[in-house]
Amino acid sequence: MKKVTQPGVLEKALASFRRKGKTIGFVPTMGALHEGHLSLVRASKKKNDVTVVSIFVNPLQFGPKEDLKNYPRLAANDLALLKKEKVDFVFMPSEQVMYEKDHSLLIGFESVTSREASPSSIQAISNRFCGEFRPGHFRGVMTVVAKLFNVVKPCEAYFGAKDFQQAVIIRKMARELNQGVSVRILPTIRENAGLALSSRNQYLTPGERRRALKISEVLFWLRDQIWAGGKNLPTLLRQAEEKLLESVDSVQYLAAADPETLIPLEEIQRNMVILTACFVGKTRLIDNVILHA
């Protein structure tokens, strides 16, 4: 496993594999790795000749009052985990390397095809759900992922359904910008008790962790209600939110959407995603369930 900090060094190394016709799989992360990240690494290893993992806590995607400073940084442990998975390259650029002093371009959302952005445009998707509470977040995510795609030029990039809105936005960005990357979205890995694995779970006290279990419990309850023939989506969502509030401190959103377009749904349909963001103590947790008919 090679650890690389300079984009030029990685580009050169990967170019020689590309010339030999080798496929490159890429897993972007912010580190503090867990089994969720490792599931993406294993999928990439299985499908590609060369696997690159990036570890970069991207300041652009954090709001001024968010947890950038306290975000867990566990480089030594991360490197040991990735070595065990036989990852080929770990890209760990510094903030100065990723964003030069006068870095100015953000991947924005202006629609060139219509004045009124359609509800399935990247602009519209980025402003709802998490975007409503984290203004600029997805612009930061798209900017860093676009930069990383330009350095790695992967055939396939792997993202977790855990951050479903992010994955849908990146898939759309890759298509609209002809980045030549297939974006794979893989299932959320959970603790046995149901809690979706997240680097932010480290912030939870034991009591908060117990309360956080309610999130997956309620999402699974909703899924089961719908599968059992429950008909009235707004009522089910209202009941689910009440259940959530028995344990979590606040609910930013709990909503159903079409899994392709992320347009919110008022009625049950064959394929749906139900997404939520909640606070447990000071920790903001997101989760979702995907329903296929």
Q: Residue 181, interface with ligand AMP (CB under 6 A)? A: no
| Short-list 188, 187, 192, 193, CA closest to 211 | 193
Judged by CB under 6 A, the number of residues near ligand AMP is 16
- Closest CB to ligand AMP among residues 198, 225: 198
- Closest CB to ligand AMP among residues 4, 27: 27
Show the binding pattern over residues 60-89: x = contacts ligand AMP (CB under 6 A), - = does not.
------------------------------
Question: CB atoms < 10 A from the CB of 67, how many?
Answer: 15
Dihedral sign of CA atoms 203, 99, 23, 11 in order: negative
Could you give the angle at the alpha carbon of 270 between the alpha carbons of 190 and 187, nearest 5°? Answer: 20
| Cα separations in angstroms, 232 against 58, 224, 289 | 40, 13, 18
Q: Residue 199, interface with ligand AMP (CB under 6 A)? A: yes
Choosing from 26, 29, 149, 171, the residue that interacts with ligand AMP (CB under 6 A) is 29
Q: Residue 126, interface with ligand AMP (CB under 6 A)? A: no
Q: How far apart (Å, rounded) are the C-alpha atoms in residues 248 and 242?
A: 10
Cβ neighbours of residue 62 closer than 8 Å, sequence gap 6 or more:
68, 71, 137, 140
Q: Residue 160, interface with ligand AMP (CB under 6 A)? A: yes
Q: Residue 30, interface with ligand AMP (CB under 6 A)? A: yes
Q: Residue 36, interface with ligand AMP (CB under 6 A)? A: yes
Joined tokens for residue 139: 């612009």
Is 103 a known active-site residue? no
Can you give the binding site for ligand AMP, defined by CB under 6 A? 29-30, 36-37, 39-40, 159-160, 162-163, 188-189, 196-199
Residues with catalytic annotation? Answer: 37
